[in-house]
Amino acid sequence: QSALTQPASVSGSPGQSITISCTGTSSDIGGYDFAAWFQQHPGKAPELIIYEVTKRPSGVSNRFSGSKSGNTASLTISGLQAEDEADYYCCSYAASSTYVFGTGTKVTVL
């Protein structure tokens, strides 16, 4: 149950687009259409922003989009805004009916 690999940090200027990768194996990301993404502001609980690779929960901005290729899932934030500055975590269903989260990515808006 090793954590999925994410870049430690990603930054961008307001209005730009950034992409966060989440790399796993064929036993997690590559094996299921589950990949989810969470946004977490300091001191707050995580919030679901993407599930089943590409779906957005009601109320989540369409500036957030997800994709997957092989063992890597990706989150793209378009039109970056100051409020997007937060930590982002990916998550996948994994073998033995467990789940695994990513190492987390700190997004900085320059």
Partner 1 sequence: EVQLVESGGGSVQPGGSLRLSCSVSGFIFSSYWMHWVRQAPGEGLVWVSRLNPDGSTTNYADSVKGRFTISRDNAKNTLYLQMNSLRVEDTAVYYCARGGLEPFDIWGHGTVVTVSS
Range in contact with partner 1 (rule: CB under 8 A) among 13-21, 22-30, 49-57, 72-80: 49-57
Of positions 9, 11, 70, 99, contacts partner 1 by CB under 8 A: 99
Residue position matching structure tokens 């808006």: 109
- Total residues contacting partner 1 by CB under 8 A comes to 24
| Dihedral angle of Cα 6, 2, 29, 53, to the nearest 10 degrees | -50
If one asks whether residue 62 binds partner 1 (CB under 8 A), the answer comes out as no
Give the residue ranges of DSSP H helices in 3-102: none
How far, in Å, are 25, 39, 94 from residue 32 at the CA level? Answer: 10, 21, 8
Judged by beta carbon, residue 51 or residue 79, the one nearer partner 1 is: 51
CA dist 39 and 87 (Å) reads 6
If one asks whether residue 7 binds partner 1 (CB under 8 A), the answer comes out as no
Residues that bind partner 1 (CB under 8 A): 1, 3, 34, 36, 38, 40, 45-48, 51, 55, 57, 89, 91, 96-104
